[in-house]
Copies of this chain bind each other. A is one copy, B any other.
Amino acid sequence: MESIKSFYELTTYLQTSNSRKKIAVICANDPNTEYAIARSLEEGIAEFIMIGDSAILRKYPTLKKYPEYVKTIHIENPDEAAREAVKLVREGGADILMKGIINTDNLLHAILDKEKGLLPKGKILTHLSVVQIPTYHKLLFFSDAAVIPRPTLQQRIEMIWYAIKTCHHFGICQPRIALIHFSEKVSAKFQNSLDYVNLVELAEGGEFGDVIIDGPLDVKTACEEASADIKGIVSPINGQADVLIFPNIEAANTFYKSVSLFAKAEMAGLLQGPICPVVLPSRSDSGLSKYYSIAMACLTCK
């Protein structure tokens, strides 16, 4: 498999692979979610089980064009709808979970339920995004803009594992993972920079398999060869990062918002950790971004 370098390549790949995944959507009551579902149906990449108020579902006539690929389960209470969707995944009735307009905390409550939830014991919950920036030559994965504010060393190890596995799904055999900081210096004042030394050593020892991990690096030295050259920095990443692991949620969120607003980037993202991919878009995500997140989920739940 050639590596997938754009969202166009991603959706084309899914169309040709011709295996629709079953997505349970909770409370799909907004135009952007509707767009994402309708687009997925048109492109033939998924089928949907709509769980929520079916009176509201009738607002979206485009979804009726594909009756064989859209089922509805009428549950008015959002918390009950979330629990039903989780149950469906546990019983094998759905491959992917997707949030509509239910409050994120309520959905997480159902996912994190120790007995009836979706997160295996000992697994951490984190968020992995992928961005297509017109001025970068391939897709760029990053973590964590949504769930873990200050990752510990152990959490970073898990974040790296999720990123590696997702890269493999995208056909990237040897992912280049940059550990982001505001400078290239390791300093005892910044715990994350010390953790980065540990992570680089683990990678060099073979812990993560066939990967290139380096840091601390800043975003520019991670993604542009010339910047590293000017600074006299020699990094095996070589300005070709596939993945950016950010020091904290503020830096990751700033990256996400800056490239989407100022560099016209398109975005997709998934919760990592649960037994199935969970599409958890933010309210301000575009319909296209929700569609690409569905595509990312379909690719990675194989």
Contacts and interface: CB of A to CB of B under 8 A. Distances in A.
A231 B259 CA distance: 19
B262 A136 contact: yes
A230 B283 contact: yes
A120 interface: no
Given A135-B262, A227-B284, A246-B250, A220 B257 contact: yes
B250 A219 contact: no
A224 interface: yes
Nearest to A189: B149
Contact of A258 (B183, B221, B230, B255): B255
Interface string A236-254: 0000000000111111111
A64 interface: no
Nearest to A250: B251
A263 interface: yes
A284 B250 contact: no
A261 B246 CA distance: 17
A265 interface: yes
B220 A182 contact: no
B246 A283 contact: no
B248 A250 contact: yes
A254 B262 contact: no
A280 to B, nearest CB: 14
A133 B249 contact: no
Interface in A257-302: 257-265, 283-284
A254 B258 contact: yes
A128 to B, nearest CB: 16
A253 B190 contact: no
A49 interface: no
Nearest to A226: B284
B230 A284 contact: yes
A224 B223 CA distance: 26
A220 B248 CA distance: 18
A219 B135 contact: no
Nearest to A233: B284
A254 B260 CA distance: 14
Contact of A182 (B230, B231, B232, B250): B250
A181 interface: yes
A258 B261 contact: no
B253 A218 contact: yes
A25 interface: no
10 contacts: A133-B262, A149-B190, A182-B249, A182-B253, A218-B257, A219-B253, A247-B250, A255-B258, A258-B259, A258-B262
Top-3 shortest CB links A-B: A182-B253, A219-B257, A262-B263
